[in-house]
Structure 1
């Protein structure tokens, strides 16, 4: 790359290009070379630039500038929604990168509705501290017809005891705006008449726009608003003294009482359900505790009234914040109310059951080094069930009670986890005394604060546990709503800087997944519980369509709405993952084959499966082919490969095929060959909608980017693709080939410079990725396609033409002949 840069700076373009191509062949330099090739391609061929930039970003995920370039390549093609989605995902990881933020605002301005764009700008303004970005967003705001003309931001600087910020009128930048300040019942009229360096640097007024208010004596809140009563962003300002933790008071170990702290802001029904569930469970818990509800200036009068009624009856201890302090400030002050008590954070959108508190405390005091305990839940990061780090629907009260009772009866051992989760977090006072309280200075108003506390505690030798014998339901998102994304991104950036090794540890933990055994224990308990119910009672756990088909295939499981058994080979082990749409949360269990085959059979016998459908047979564990006879179920085969025609001494595929109730082939053209090899098999007639054949005239103007439609696992086919790539180099064809999957031939194909991996982008579908790469068609070089021919499905998914060698199957699939391409592939 140094040679490339020297030639580039000397304007020796031919030599620079040669050096760059050489760098593309070296793994160490390839990502950087991709970036420079993308920069060169961006003005004229942004789709090609996308391929280069996206593959470079995958190799260099920490380079925010490359993510910004991916976004620019999408914008240049007019893929506005795709650009916004990609840049938003990158921004969450790199929220402070200016180039990325600027490109994201450009994408948002073109893809978002005016009202949504305005909401985003106003939400982000308090976090904008660079003149370039401020100038950009204010220009966007000024062009909106319904946007407020006056806008401003204020914040409190406790070290200086001042409120400072800026305020301007976008429609009259030359005049200082009038403001009103209210504090302690006193109202003062003023103007934003001071210079402000950020405004000046952004090309806005240099003589006014800034404001500075001294607050020598801290007060609860200072309200600042324009003359029309519109508040400035950040108002009311919390001009109060910094939180000072109370001195450690000591405690009585596992005998000391507990404060259950419930912060409340919005969500009337959810909050009352949470409080009532804790009140109902109170008599079942031997742990002395009180419910402390922190009402954080709720905007709902009905909620405030309901809380006052509960407090007047002595059911809760009510703390009313005069102004909205946010989660961190509220919880710090609530945890300091009783310096000798353990505390439990309990979100207002949760529901507890039974002796939940006793079980959490038992885990907390099972070892002196334990700082916090998090229960199982449907929505709680690492402790989410049935899938970790996923948000599942909140179960009903009855369903949750069943899950919690099963968890209690299973009584699985606690599992050490990396960090706790704040939806329901038991914290020992001894840990709180040593670790300290939440950071309300540097972290924003919520999200990530428990991670910061847990990582601080871990650095001091404390541990965090998951209580698998408690299940607390959690809805999620009630209090903070759409503001969550901004808070998470802001705070996560701070945490990555504070704990640089935490992400690697967390990722390693997730790969190990030590919580999986206890998740499986609870799942098996659910299955065992099902076995003890009557047939009529079992129906409540399934959808109205009781009789189900079990889909057997390789790779990932099907959606949660169907019964599926997905097998995979992992090193020298074989696993089968069973998934079923069990209520209230899906059933998911993993079995190692052949050792746990009997357990798999026992589980399947309890499920309402009426038939089995095999959807992939290549590399399928033959044990799974014995399921129909052992379960007494009919089965059908959807042929997506030619395994039934293979000669295998270890398994009789011909007998297996003939015993099937039906065999569905993908192409009518294959029917005769299968009938000849499997004369006694029940082959179903194949029917297709009329195939759409690509217009030969349109083929003449075909885009240069083609998706490889063949599997590169077959050497003969892969060799044809290598020959075509080399032909493209010799004849200087304007051709780019995209490989959908990795494989042993990909490296050799990429070395030609003609073949590139179709970029893998998080949460982007295959069709979206191909569209962003400018893919104009799917191409197949397979001269004898069988049941595993995937090219037609790819073309249909991408809604592009298919080109293939002539033949009966290709004709049936509606493929155009290779001769209609604007270049010859005869040598391939």
Structure 2
């Protein structure tokens, strides 16, 4: 790369290009070389620049500047929505990088509605500390006709006992803004008349705009707003000292427990939660009290209902004078009884049976267990039926049934990486040693329980899941700009504090030690269903569910009943999915050992037909299911024909024949190109489309698997030919292969990047893919190219074969280049 830079600085372009191509072949320099290749391609070919930048970003994931370049390449090709999505994901990992933030604001300004953009700006303003970024976002606000003209930010500095911040009028920047301050019943007017370095750095007047308000005595709420009533961001200010936990007084297994329910909004949800805990109280032997902390709710009816419950002695009510947020609220609630264990219980949860006894029993099954998290429909690692998935909350009756089944199954506790705060049992001994929540650096919440759990783990404490308890959790369904920002900022803090935590979490998810407990509970659900009367069994399935079982290779989604098969080098297993209410049934079986159990489970399903898809790799044992279950079957061909069952056909023979006839992707003409002694010439190229392309393709996706050596050698020969003949095209590889390095070394093959959350078609679109190319001579049932072309919405170029017939495909007779394939 040093040679490249010397030639570049000397304007020796050809020599610089040669040095750069050499650098691409050296692993140590490849990522940086890709960046410079992208910079060179950006002005004329932003799609090609995306390829270079995105692959460089994959090699150097911590380089925020490269992520910003990826976003710029997407913006340059008119893809602001994709740019926003990519940059947002990158920003979540590195929220403090200025270049990344500036590029993201540019993308948002083009992709978001004015209202959404305004919400984002106001959410981010308190955390903007760079003048350049502040200038950008204030310009975005000022450009909106209906945006507030006055804006400001304030925060409390407990060391100085002072509120500091800034306030401006976007319509009159030359005049200091007037702010009204209210505290303890008094009201005064103040002027933002002091200088503020951030405003100066943003290019605003240097002699005013800043605010400094002395608060000599602790004050729970200081309100600051403009004359028009618009509050400054951060108001009301909680001008109180930092929380200091009380001294430890010890605790033990015989002490009572405080169940802490923080409440802010949601009248019905909160009362249902409290009532479920009250109903379960008499079923639990553990002495406990329900402590409800009302965090200055904006719902008067909720505040009144809580007072009524407290007056009847059913709950202990704590009312915050101002909204403290989750961390401050829970710290003070956990300090109410310094000798008790505590349970965090979200106000949108429901508990059943002896839930607290079972959680406590797990907590004291080992002295170094710090926290316990139950099964739930929505709770990160302990989510059921799928981990890390937010499922809808079941009905009250279904919740109670799931909890009772979990109790009966009694799966043993499972050690997990971190607990989840929707329902978290915490032992007092752990609180005493680990400390409370961090309200100084994570003051506005999100990630607080993860921080506490990781801190506890660093001190030798463990966290476990309790699969013998099921606590339903409604959970939030939307994420506002404020929450997205908080999650990103706090996650950055956690990554810095616990650098190995992310790798540990990913390794845990790959091992998935909770899976046996999930499977046991699923099997119990099915067994319980089998014991019910027929009318109740029939009512247990989702309404309007299609009673057809689809057997496939895992590539299909959305069926009410499906059996997907998966094969690895050492095992074959299937996943049975069924539309059981209230949560879907998911059971896995290893073949052939679990085949008898699979059949037994399938007999409980209300199946009326079986459709087989992608039979080429289907385990033969599954072909016996129609006969065993006495259910009619059909075979879905690749051309969407359905082959019906024929009584005079042997099933095994029929399956094999069906597998052989589902090849025909119609559309390739039956014509041959001439074969030369040393090469096969792809002179007759067919376009599977309804019209000629408007221009010759320049970026073609490799439409064949590169895992077979024969096919890979053909592609390597083609790639070398493209380079040597200087053909005006590039090839794009979409999957990994042992041949990938050799293909890339030709200089004519690029790897399609895999940004998280991007579909194959979005990735190909960003790269500028304008066709799929296949070199297969005799397509079989695993031919990827037609499906890929259809998914990407681009033409398919392929070699004509004698096994296909002309169905109206258009031949390109006069391509401007010829592809020669050395044998």
Q: Distance in 2 between matches of 1:273 and 1:73?
A: 51
Higher mean C-alpha displacement, 49-58 vs 801-810: 801-810
SS at match of 2:219: coil
Which residue of structure 2 aligns with residue 98 of structure 1?
Answer: 98
Match of 2:45 in 1: 45
Q: Separation in 1 of the partners of 2:651 and 2:57?
A: 45
- Distance in 2, Cα, partners of 1:21 & 1:818: 33
Q: Root-mean-square deviation (CA), in Å?
A: 2.4
Cα distance change of structure 1 residues 314 and 325 upon mapping to structure 2, 3 Å threshold: same
Match of 1:675 in 2: none
Give the Cα separation in 2 of the matches to 1:661 and 1:507. 38
Output the CA distance in 1 between the equivalents of 2:463 and 2:554: 34
Aligned equivalent of 1:796: 790
- The 3-state SS of whatever aligns with 1:221 is strand
Q: 1:328-362 deviations in whole A, cap 9, x for unaligned? A: 00000111111111111011111111111111111
- Residue 705 of structure 2 is matched in structure 1 by 711
- 2:691 is the alignment partner of 1:695: yes
Check the 8 A contact 1:637/1:663 in 2, yes or no: no
Please name the residue that 2:751 is paired with.
757
Task: Give the 3 Å change call, closer, same or farther, for CA 415–243 of structure 1 in structure 2.
Answer: same
Residue matched to 1:466: 465
2:446 is aligned to 447
Hey, what's the Cα distance between the residues in 1 that align with 2:150 and 2:543?
56
- 1:236-247 paired onto structure 2 within 5 Å: 236-247=236-247
Corresponding residue for residue 351 of structure 1: 350
The SS at the match of 1:29 is: helix
CA distance in 2, matches of 1:399, 1:82: 41
The superposition leaves residues 744-772 of structure 1 with CA deviations (integer Å, 9 ceiling, x where unpaired) of 33332222111122221222122111111
Q: Structure 1's 239 and 311: CA in aligned 2 closer, same or farther, altered over 3 A?
A: same
Q: Over residues 394-431 of structure 1, what are the superposed CA-to-partner deviations in whole Å (9 max), with x where a residue is unaligned?
A: 11111111111110110110001111000100001111
Shift of 1:552: 2.3
The alpha-carbon distance between structure 1 residues 186 and 546, as it changes in their structure 2 partners (threshold 3 A), is closer
Q: For 2:625, which of 608, 624, 627 is the aligned residue?
A: 627
Paired residue for 1:727, among 718, 721, 729? Answer: 721
Task: Decide whether the 8 Å contact of 1:359 with 1:469 is kept in 2.
Answer: yes
Secondary structure at the counterpart of residue 254 of structure 1: coil
Q: Contact 1:669/1:808 (CA < 8 Å) preserved in 2? A: no
Tell me how far apart the structure 1 counterparts of residues 441 and 808 of structure 2 sit (CA, whole Å): 61
Partner of 2:493: 494
1:514-593 residue pairs with structure 2 within 5 A?
A: 514-545=513-544, 548-555=547-554, 558-559=556-557, 561-593=559-591
Structure 1 segment 52-201 matched on structure 2, within 5 A: 52-201=52-201
Shift of 1:505: 1.2
Taking the aligned partners of 1:129 and 1:312, their CA distance within structure 2 comes to 48
Query: Does 792-801 or 727-736 show the bigger shift?
Result: 792-801
CA contact (8 A) 1:163 1:215 kept: yes
User: Residue 738 of structure 2: which of 735, 744, 747 is its match?
Assistant: 744
Match of 1:646 in 2: none
Cα distance between partner residues in 2 of 1:395 and 1:12: 69
703-712 or 431-440: bigger deviation: 703-712
Displacement after TM superposition at 1:365 (Å): 0.8
Tell me what 1:383 maps to: 382
Residue 208 (structure 2) aligns with:
208
Query: Does residue 223 of structure 1 match 2:217?
Result: no
Correspondence 1:26 to 2:23: no
The separation in 2 between residues aligned to 1:662 and 1:537, in whole angstroms, is 43
Query: 1:393 is paired with a residue of what secondary structure?
Result: coil
What's the offset of the Cα at 1:661?
A: 13
Deviation at 1:387, TM superposition (A): 1.1
The answer as to whether partners of 2:176 and 2:209 remain within 8 angstroms in 1 is yes
Number of matched pairs: 795
Does the 8 Å contact 2:667/2:808 carry over to 1?
Answer: no
Work out the CA distance in 1 between the residues paired with 2:636 and 2:660.
9
TM-score of the aligned structures, taking structure 1 as reference length: 0.92
Aligned residue for 1:223, secondary structure, equals: strand
* Conservation of the 8 A alpha-carbon contact between 1:265 and 1:479: no
1:636 shift after superposition:
2.7
Distance 2:202 2:122 in 1: 17
TM-aligned CA deviation for residue 639 of structure 1: 4.2
What secondary structure does 2:152 align onto? strand
Aligned 8 A contact 1:635 1:662 in 2: no
Structure 2, unaligned runs of 5 or more? 640-649, 671-686
Residue 613 of structure 1 aligns to a residue whose secondary structure is: strand
Residue 656 of structure 1: how far off its partner (Å): 4.3
Determine the structure 2 residue equivalent to 1:684: none
| TM superposition shift of 1:727 | 2.0
Quote the Cα distance in structure 2 between the aligned partners of 1:731 and 1:380: 57
Tell me the SS of whatever aligns to 2:61.
coil
Question: Which residue in 2 is equivalent to 1:680?
Answer: none
CA 662–822 in structure 1, closer or farther in 2 if over 3 Å, else same:
closer
The CA distance in 2 between the partners of 1:479 and 1:708, in whole Å, is 39
Q: Distance in 2 between matches of 1:562 and 1:747?
A: 42
Quote how far apart the aligned CAs of 1:695 are. 2.8
The residue number in structure 2 matching 1:636 is: 634
Give the structure-2-normalised TM-score: 0.92
